[in-house]
Amino acid sequence: MTATATVGSVTERARDRLCWMAAVLVIVVGILVWVSGRPSMGLAVASDARGPAVVTDVTPGALAWAAGVQPGMTVTSVDWSPPSAGFTGSEGHVAGRATLVDERDGRRVEVTPYTAASILLLPGLWAAIALLVAMWMLARRSSMAAFAAPFALATATPLALLPAIAFGSPDLLAVNAIAWPLAALPLAATMAGQARCSRTVRRARQMVVAGTVGAVALVPLLYVVPGPASSVALVRVLLVALALLGPLALIATTRVRQDGAWTNSGQPLVRSLTMAALAATPIVIHLALGTPDVGIAVVGIALWCAAALVVARFVVAPLAALTTRALGQRDLVAAAADAERRRVAADLHDGPLQSLTLLAYRLDAAGDVENAGLARDVVTELRAVTSALRLPVVDDLGAGPALEWLATQVGRLSGQDIELQRADSGRPPIDVEHAVFRIAQEALANATRHGRPPIRVRYEAASSRASLVIDDAGPGVTGGRVGEAERGLGLVGMRERAESIGAVLEIGSAAGHSRVSLLWPAGAP
């Protein structure tokens, strides 16, 4: 168990390290292209003294190509001296605004390099650097720290690679087209990993792979169908949106279908809203930077950031505060209930148990063996009740030995064999052990009443991680029976105990058997 937890944490650290390195590399590449390259529309012309200039070559994917310019078109007007936007003309190449006419059909095309991609080169690079630094600083302080590195890579890449769009090189344009969906892949995979059901995780990851592979596979078609707003470009945006937002929609629908509604605490809703905002941000930036008007790009990104801040301030923050208060109140109620159970256990031990024990001795002394035995049976049952109320074996020895005792007791009372497998190299916090034991109590009771042998219990624990799996050969709760079964007080109590410690509880069936599984903490590998 410890080895598994260690491997999971190492994998997360390696993923974050790769994301940070990739983000830095992308920014460095953007700076090098900006320093060494020269923006161009990707339009070459030739002229002589006897006639007007004629287009001789158009770079696939460049600004002129996207506008629909084709070789053979005639240049009717051209500005060889562009304003101060960092552009310089070269002999035989148009760097400023140009108007072209197709002599075959009279079609007129106007091309200008002053788009969002060209004017925002330097601001985009500075924004990418600032974003990377901000995410690095927030990585260890935020509750969403797991998303910091993937989010930084997904959002910094389109900003840092703006020179690749404006400079008109086919190789740079191809790199930019491939880099965007690949940069969003770690963020999409992290979103998919937030599902609490293994089946949902698998389906979410299939969405991520399908969206990313599809977006990359369509890159060659970008050079066949011209125009930044072409159908191919739109399909690529939709595929990346599928990879980023599809897993969140799947997780949300699965949670509503299984739980019937969001939990009372509202904690899943707060987290889902935050993840949705993070996933949509790279898409918004990509769409804004692809517009021909720099004003639209800046206003679009600014409006998105403003909307995110407003929602965070007036929706997410109050809901998070309400969630915190609700969790605190629930913890107080749970603590009061535990204190009350301990008081009842102490009262039973000091009162009725002592009296019944003395009664058994007196009945033995009087020769009434039958009633004395009955009194001792009642004493044994009351001791079991007080032990269950107070959980001394959990407090003193831990959840592992307590589960051994529970399996023995339940097996003896039900007449069924219960197999227990333990791998507890350490003890998690006491409240986690209490929740594990109480959930195991309810799950074993359900398995003996409604399931079929064999019944297997697997418990693994370390100081920072714990998992409990209880299987039986019964049909479980599947399909339409989930909502009805979930209304039972026992299953509701199990979910509340799991939520109180920040654990994930799954109840269902798989491969012909019923399963109850608990994983703490919820994000553990």
182, two tokens = 């690949």
The listed range with the strongest mean pLDDT (222-226, 270-274, 291-295, 389-393) is 270-274
Q: Kindly report each contact of residues 353-356 with a partner whose C-beta sits within 8 Å and lies 24 or more positions away, as own/partner.
A: 353/379, 353/382, 353/383, 353/386, 356/382
Lookup: tokens for 181: 């969906």
Q: What span, in angstroms and rounded, lies between the C-alpha atoms of 37 and 350?
A: 87
Q: What is the predicted pLDDT for the residue at 345?
A: 67
Helix (H, G, I), strand (E, B) or coil at 505: strand
Average pLDDT over residues 152-175: 81
Q: What is the pLDDT of residue 440?
A: 87
Lowest average pLDDT, out of 18-27, 179-188, 424-433, 507-516, goes to: 507-516
Instruction: Tell me what the mean pLDDT of segment 152-156 comes to.
Output: 93
| β-sheet bridge partners, residue 421 | 458
288 or 40, higher pLDDT: 288
Per-residue pLDDT, averaged over 389-397, amounts to 68
More confident residue, 402 or 390: 402
What is the SS3 assignment for 243? Answer: helix
Rounded mean pLDDT of 41-55? 69
Instruction: Provide the percentage of residues in the chain whose pLDDT is more than 70.
Output: 68
Domain boundary assignment for the chain: 2-36+118-292, 43-112, 316-390, 398-525
Confidence label for 28 from pLDDT (cuts 50, 70 and 90): very high
Question: 40-49, 200-209, 338-347, 483-492: lowest mean pLDDT where?
Answer: 483-492
What average pLDDT does the chain have?
A: 75
The pTM score is 0.61
Give mean pLDDT, residues 284-313. 81
Of the listed ranges 199-203, 245-249, 276-280, 394-398, the one predicted with least confidence: 394-398
Q: Report the pLDDT value the prediction gives residue 184, as an integer from 0 to 100.
A: 93
Mean pLDDT of 449-462: 83
Residue 186 has pLDDT above 80, yes or no: yes
Architecture of domain 398-525: 2-Layer Sandwich (3.30)
Residue 241 has pLDDT above 90, yes or no: yes
Report DSSP letters for 273-339, one per residue: HHHHHHHHHHHHHHHHHTSS-HHHHHHHHHHHHHHHHHHIIIIIHHHHHHHHHHHHHHHHHHHHHHH
SS3 191: helix
Q: Is the model more confident about 322 or about 235?
A: 235
Does 14 or 382 have the greater pLDDT score?
A: 14
